Amino acid sequence: MSNLISNAIKFTDSGNVDFQIKVINKQENKVKLEFKVKDTGIGIPPEKLKIVFNKYDQIANSSNYLITQIGTGLGLSISKKIIELMEGEIGVESKEKEGSCFWFNIEAEIIEEPHQVNIETKKKEKFDKKVLLVDDRDVNLKVSSLMLNKLGCTVETATNGEMAVEKYSNSPEEFDLIIMDIQMPVMDGITATKILKEKFPNEIAPIFGLSAQIAKNLHKTPEELGFDHYLTKPLNMEMLKAGLQRL
């Protein structure tokens, strides 16, 4: 959902982006759900519809697209693979210059309502920390900020390493933690972290490196890259809570 919504926002300059979830079928303890992301963006040419889920085939290469968007061309391919592994279906309907509708169906198990969490336990999970959250995707910033807010943190955001260096430098004493995405346009997280460590050699907030590729592709320890700790995407409450407990 994060990927589909991000893409819809990226290619919609005016109008709206609409997200829907609908129950298609329900049987005993299982339910089939349909997810749709509709936008009023620039749409997809007919000849590109067949390859939109292929690796590295970015639809933005069309002459009708603004060639200003940065990406690997892997997002939709990965989304398709995830849905296939969940034995679901994914597809797209689109008209050029009129918008697109990406959809997927999955079957999910119906579980019982979770038990109420004790209020005293909730109080213990609150962290009064100021966090500088750095990520180039708006959806990631929004979701992670909400989770950090629920854990009692206040959050300042930046969309690239250059902006992060500027925001931290303006008021370094305010921040208790920096969560830095490793791969970003303009300035990546490793470079930004190096600059911050050189600029504030004696006292700087801990910096947690954030990436979806840490486990497989980064063979160095966080300390070797200048970070105090690694966090992996997608972030969740338990991971953030454990990270905050390290402070």
DSSP 126-151: ----EEEEE-S-HHHHHHHHHHHHHT
d(Cα 158, Cα 167) in Å, to the nearest integer? 8
Cis check: omega of the bond before 46, within 30 degrees of 0: no
Residue 176 phi/psi, 5° resolution? -100, -20
Q: What is the pLDDT of residues 38-81, one digit of tens each?
A: 999 999 988 888 888 887 655 554 444 444 444 546 789 999 99
pTM: 0.59
Report the percentage of the chain scoring pLDDT > 90.
Answer: 61
Question: Using one digit for the tens of pLDDT, what is the confidence trace for 109-144?
Answer: 988 766 665 555 455 578 999 999 999 998 899 999
Q: pLDDT value at position 88?
A: 95
Residue reference for tokens 């300035």: 187
Is the pLDDT reported for residue 154 higher than 90?
Answer: yes
